[in-house]
Amino acid sequence: MTAKPRIVLSSDHSAIELRQAIAAHITERGWEAVDIGPMTPESTHYPEHGKAAAQRVVSGDCQLGIILCGTGQGIMMAANKVPGIRCGVCMDTFSARMIRQHNDANILSIGARVVGEGLALDIVDAYLDAEFEGGRHATRVAMIED
Protein backbone atom coordinates (compact mmCIF):
# COMPACT_ATOMS: atom_id res chain seq x y z
CA MET A 1 0.00 0.00 0.00
CA THR A 2 1.37 3.41 -0.95
CA ALA A 3 1.48 6.24 1.53
CA LYS A 4 -1.17 8.90 1.15
CA PRO A 5 0.21 12.24 0.05
CA ARG A 6 0.54 15.29 2.26
CA ILE A 7 -2.13 17.85 1.48
CA VAL A 8 -1.55 21.51 2.34
CA LEU A 9 -4.61 23.50 3.39
CA SER A 10 -4.83 27.27 3.58
CA SER A 11 -7.50 29.95 3.47
CA ASP A 12 -8.22 33.52 4.28
CA HIS A 13 -10.19 34.56 7.37
CA SER A 14 -13.56 33.85 5.72
CA ALA A 15 -12.97 30.12 5.45
CA ILE A 16 -11.25 29.04 8.65
CA GLU A 17 -14.09 26.85 9.93
CA LEU A 18 -14.63 25.08 6.60
CA ARG A 19 -10.87 24.59 6.15
CA GLN A 20 -10.63 22.98 9.57
CA ALA A 21 -13.60 20.71 8.81
CA ILE A 22 -11.92 19.65 5.57
CA ALA A 23 -8.62 19.02 7.39
CA ALA A 24 -10.40 16.76 9.90
CA HIS A 25 -12.23 14.97 7.08
CA ILE A 26 -9.14 14.19 5.03
CA THR A 27 -7.29 13.09 8.16
CA GLU A 28 -10.13 10.66 8.91
CA ARG A 29 -9.68 9.32 5.38
CA GLY A 30 -6.01 8.59 6.10
CA TRP A 31 -4.43 11.55 4.30
CA GLU A 32 -1.95 13.84 6.02
CA ALA A 33 -3.36 17.37 6.41
CA VAL A 34 -0.80 20.19 6.63
CA ASP A 35 -2.89 23.15 7.79
CA ILE A 36 -0.91 26.37 7.38
CA GLY A 37 -3.66 28.67 8.60
CA PRO A 38 -4.62 31.27 9.45
CA MET A 39 -5.88 30.20 12.86
CA THR A 40 -7.46 33.47 14.06
CA PRO A 41 -10.37 35.39 12.47
CA GLU A 42 -8.59 38.71 11.87
CA SER A 43 -8.83 39.88 8.28
CA THR A 44 -6.09 38.43 6.08
CA HIS A 45 -5.10 38.66 2.43
CA TYR A 46 -6.03 35.62 0.33
CA PRO A 47 -3.16 36.17 -2.19
CA GLU A 48 -0.62 35.47 0.55
CA HIS A 49 -2.39 32.26 1.56
CA GLY A 50 -2.80 31.04 -2.01
CA LYS A 51 0.87 31.64 -2.73
CA ALA A 52 2.02 29.94 0.50
CA ALA A 53 0.02 26.80 -0.26
CA ALA A 54 1.18 26.75 -3.89
CA GLN A 55 4.81 27.01 -2.80
CA ARG A 56 4.36 23.97 -0.55
CA VAL A 57 3.09 21.98 -3.53
CA VAL A 58 5.75 23.05 -6.06
CA SER A 59 8.52 22.45 -3.51
CA GLY A 60 7.35 18.84 -3.11
CA ASP A 61 6.69 19.27 0.61
CA CYS A 62 3.04 18.54 -0.14
CA GLN A 63 1.74 16.68 -3.16
CA LEU A 64 -1.69 18.33 -3.27
CA GLY A 65 -3.41 21.41 -1.89
CA ILE A 66 -6.86 22.60 -0.88
CA ILE A 67 -7.34 26.34 -0.57
CA LEU A 68 -10.38 28.43 0.34
CA CYS A 69 -11.61 31.98 0.41
CA GLY A 70 -15.09 33.49 0.21
CA THR A 71 -15.66 32.56 -3.44
CA GLY A 72 -12.59 30.41 -4.06
CA GLN A 73 -11.78 32.61 -7.04
CA GLY A 74 -9.25 35.08 -5.64
CA ILE A 75 -7.13 32.53 -3.80
CA MET A 76 -7.18 30.31 -6.91
CA MET A 77 -5.90 33.19 -9.05
CA ALA A 78 -3.06 33.80 -6.59
CA ALA A 79 -2.09 30.10 -6.48
CA ASN A 80 -2.06 29.84 -10.26
CA LYS A 81 0.58 32.60 -10.45
CA VAL A 82 3.10 30.12 -9.02
CA PRO A 83 4.76 28.19 -11.89
CA GLY A 84 3.82 24.51 -11.80
CA ILE A 85 0.44 25.01 -10.15
CA ARG A 86 -2.78 23.90 -11.79
CA CYS A 87 -5.62 24.99 -9.52
CA GLY A 88 -9.34 25.09 -10.22
CA VAL A 89 -12.34 26.35 -8.29
CA CYS A 90 -15.02 23.71 -7.84
CA MET A 91 -18.56 24.14 -6.56
CA ASP A 92 -19.69 20.65 -7.61
CA THR A 93 -18.34 17.10 -7.57
CA PHE A 94 -18.25 16.67 -11.36
CA SER A 95 -15.87 19.62 -11.77
CA ALA A 96 -13.70 18.36 -8.90
CA ARG A 97 -13.34 14.97 -10.56
CA MET A 98 -12.61 16.51 -13.96
CA ILE A 99 -9.87 18.90 -12.78
CA ARG A 100 -7.96 15.85 -11.55
CA GLN A 101 -8.80 13.46 -14.40
CA HIS A 102 -8.32 15.88 -17.29
CA ASN A 103 -6.19 18.75 -15.96
CA ASP A 104 -4.02 16.97 -13.37
CA ALA A 105 -4.89 19.79 -10.94
CA ASN A 106 -2.59 19.79 -7.96
CA ILE A 107 -4.68 22.27 -5.95
CA LEU A 108 -8.43 22.44 -5.38
CA SER A 109 -10.07 25.76 -4.49
CA ILE A 110 -13.46 26.06 -2.78
CA GLY A 111 -15.62 29.08 -2.00
CA ALA A 112 -16.63 28.96 1.67
CA ARG A 113 -19.43 31.49 1.09
CA VAL A 114 -20.71 29.55 -1.90
CA VAL A 115 -20.95 25.92 -0.75
CA GLY A 116 -21.91 24.42 2.59
CA GLU A 117 -19.82 21.98 4.56
CA GLY A 118 -21.57 18.82 3.34
CA LEU A 119 -21.11 19.67 -0.32
CA ALA A 120 -17.55 20.87 0.31
CA LEU A 121 -16.62 17.50 1.81
CA ASP A 122 -18.20 15.71 -1.18
CA ILE A 123 -16.19 17.97 -3.52
CA VAL A 124 -13.00 17.12 -1.63
CA ASP A 125 -13.78 13.39 -1.84
CA ALA A 126 -14.42 13.60 -5.60
CA TYR A 127 -11.14 15.47 -6.08
CA LEU A 128 -9.05 13.10 -3.95
CA ASP A 129 -10.61 9.93 -5.36
CA ALA A 130 -9.98 10.90 -8.99
CA GLU A 131 -6.75 10.15 -10.85
CA PHE A 132 -5.16 11.82 -13.86
CA GLU A 133 -6.08 9.94 -17.04
CA GLY A 134 -3.02 10.98 -19.06
CA GLY A 135 -3.26 10.28 -22.80
CA ARG A 136 -4.58 13.24 -24.79
CA HIS A 137 -4.94 15.12 -21.50
CA ALA A 138 -1.19 14.88 -20.84
CA THR A 139 -0.55 16.76 -24.09
CA ARG A 140 -2.90 19.53 -22.97
CA VAL A 141 -1.42 19.73 -19.48
CA ALA A 142 2.03 20.05 -21.06
CA MET A 143 0.68 22.92 -23.15
CA ILE A 144 -0.53 24.63 -19.98
CA GLU A 145 2.88 24.15 -18.37
CA ASP A 146 4.61 25.70 -21.41
If residue 36 lies in a helix (H) or strand (E), which one and from where to where? Answer: none
Note if 102 is an active site residue: yes
| 125 vs 12: CA distance, rounded Å | 22
| 101 vs 2: CA distance, rounded Å | 20
DSSP one-letter string for 45-86: -HHHHHHHHHHHHHTTS-SEEEEEESSSHHHHHHHTTSTT--
DSSP β-ladder status, 87-89 and 32-35: unpaired
- Find the catalytic residue in 69, 87, 90, 137: 69
- Find the catalytic residue in 13, 25, 45, 102: 102
Q: How far is CA 105 from CA 95, 102, 113, 139, 146, in A?
A: 11, 8, 22, 14, 15
Note if 62 is an active site residue: no
Catalytic positions: 69, 102
